[in-house]
Structure 1
Amino acid sequence: MIRPSLIDYMKILVLMILPFVMSCQEAVPIDLSMLDDAIDVKTALDNMSIRNVQTQNGYWEIVKTGEKVEAKLRDNGNISTIYSLKGEQEEKLFAFANFNIKKNTGGKIVENGNKIVFVNITLEATETFKVLEHLKEKLGIPDQIISDSVFYNAADDKVNLILKNVEQDNVKIQKDEFEDEYLVYPLHFVWNQNGYIYKYTLIINETSFSNDLVILSKKAFNDKLIFGYHNPKEDPIFKVYFEE
């Protein structure tokens, strides 16, 4: 009977440990702030463990039949792939610069023509204003700042939250025709840069801010590829960027 040598035992040990080591290695997240980088996007996305992946054939068209108006897909041979993120493990596959996707908020990424043409994610709530500063540094002065308002009451938690966190140059008190006072603050920041439209939204909760980030390729917008932005002429924020 031939007894295994020390080297044989070491080989067996390596083979037992290797799967564990490989499982502990996390993939380097795709940085969604660097969409212009020349990488093989389709291959990179397909190699990730994303469970909900759908193929979209064509573009969206608004169709009116009598009183009924609906969006329908028209197949023109243009193929998009939609990746819907769910759960912490899938969210960890992506980042925006040095900022992480907020746990269990999901996300949506669309690929077309080997490029990422749409992103919708929520980043960590505690980083909301740091993300805003990063966007200003990266993209410059916003093309649009769209405001919202809350009834002004100095003792109100939301009012104090706005006054404490939002740059004072972007906040003002206005009166309506009944002399009621409202606190006006920025809701959406919009940039049009390098072939993409960025929309960063401040979301006020009872005691804190959260956020929502949308990045949309102008080509995908004009081509009506993204449901929810499929009627560009009527989009209340993005319609100024539509080119027929």
Structure 2
Amino acid sequence: MSLIILEGCNSQTLDLDKIDFNDNPHLEKLKISKVENQKGHWVLNQSGSDVGLSLSGVESSVQYTLRTPEELARVTFNNLPLDNIGAKLVAYKGKLAFARLSVDKSKTFDLFNHLKQMLGKPDQTFDNLAYDKNNAEVKLLETGLKGDVKIVKDEYDDEMIAYPYQNVWVKGNLIYQYTLVTAKDSFSNTLVIISKEALNDKIIFGYHNPEHDPILSKYAK
């Protein structure tokens, strides 16, 4: 994998909610400083009990890592600003094949509600439980997630709050995976968008073993 450092001005901006992932995104116009050219796909190498990863093949992808406040300010999702923890975009076969981002924490529920409005009912939903119905966390959930918070009972007939902490939508060739991240008295978020082609071709590190992914394996070949 080779690393290219770009410098320059007159950069453009990109709203990932507005672009067509099947078109060339021209990510070079964002003037991102960390750009890596990757050759090949990820393969697992096992020798006895040791397991490693290496790149194999001739597939070509370009990976853009957004790190600075200036770079993160150039990308939004539905005009929602990104959080400062960083983001990653990957172009593959002339298309935007992967995006991993977090919007500003204060917009966590805005992102979820927009995805639900845009994509409809999730194809997969995974719930988490909150045991104290009166704490600040639950109040935030009830306000932010609106009709998606449910009251359930455990084996002792005690009431708990169930809420979706992870949702997956499939739209055409794209998989959207939204994760609600819980912290003390606050929430943040992670949104991953990956094409089925990039998933099955094992282009993206971290998604290089799709057949055994606990959530995305159903979309593997």
**TMscore range, shorter length:** 0.7 to 0.9
Backbone CA RMSD of aligned residues:
2.0
- 1:91 equivalent to 2:72? Answer yes
Aligned to 2:189: 211
Cα distance change on mapping 1:144 and 1:132 into 2, 3 Å: same
Instruction: After TM superposition, list the pairs within 5 Å mapping 1:108-127 onto structure 2.
Output: 108-127=88-107
Q: What is the SS of the residue equivalent to 1:141? A: coil
Aligned residues: 213
Q: What is the SS of the residue equivalent to 2:30? A: coil
Which one of 69, 87, 91 corresponds to residue 51 of structure 2? 69
Higher strand share: 2
- Give the superposition deviation at 1:77: 1.3
Which one of 10, 13, 18 corresponds to residue 34 of structure 1? 18
Q: What is the SS of the residue equivalent to 1:221? A: helix
Q: What is the SS of the residue equivalent to 1:59? A: strand
- Give the superposition deviation at 1:72: 1.8
Cα distance change on mapping 1:169 and 1:119 into 2, 3 Å: closer
Cα distance change on mapping 1:223 and 1:39 into 2, 3 Å: closer
- Give the superposition deviation at 1:169: 4.1
Identity between Structure 1 and Structure 2 (%):
34
Cα distance change on mapping 1:221 and 1:40 into 2, 3 Å: closer
- 1:165 equivalent to 2:144? Answer yes
Q: What is the SS of the residue equivalent to 1:105? A: coil
Q: d(CA) in 2 for partners of 1:132 and 1:167?
A: 11
Q: What is the SS of the residue equivalent to 1:33? A: coil
Q: CA deviation digits over 1:81-125, x for unaligned, max 9?
A: 1111111110122111221112x2210111111111110001122
Cα distance change on mapping 1:107 and 1:90 into 2, 3 Å: same
Aligned to 2:127: 147
- 1:131 equivalent to 2:111? Answer yes
Aligned to 1:105: 85
Aligned to 2:6: none
**Residue type at the aligned position of 2:16:** L
Cα distance change on mapping 1:35 and 1:63 into 2, 3 Å: farther
Contact 2:88–2:99, Cα closer than 8 Å, also in 1: yes
- Give the superposition deviation at 1:181: 5.1
Which one of 190, 205, 221 corresponds to residue 168 of structure 2? 190
Cα distance change on mapping 1:164 and 1:40 into 2, 3 Å: closer
TM-score by length of 1: 0.79
**Residue type at the aligned position of 1:212:** T
**Greater CA radius of gyration, 1 or 2?**
1
- Give the superposition deviation at 1:218: 0.6
Aligned to 2:154: 175
- 1:80 equivalent to 2:61? Answer yes
Q: d(CA) in 1 for partners of 2:53 and 2:157?
A: 43
Aligned to 1:229: 207
Structure 2 residue ranges without an equivalent (≥5)? 1-8
TM-score by length of 2: 0.87
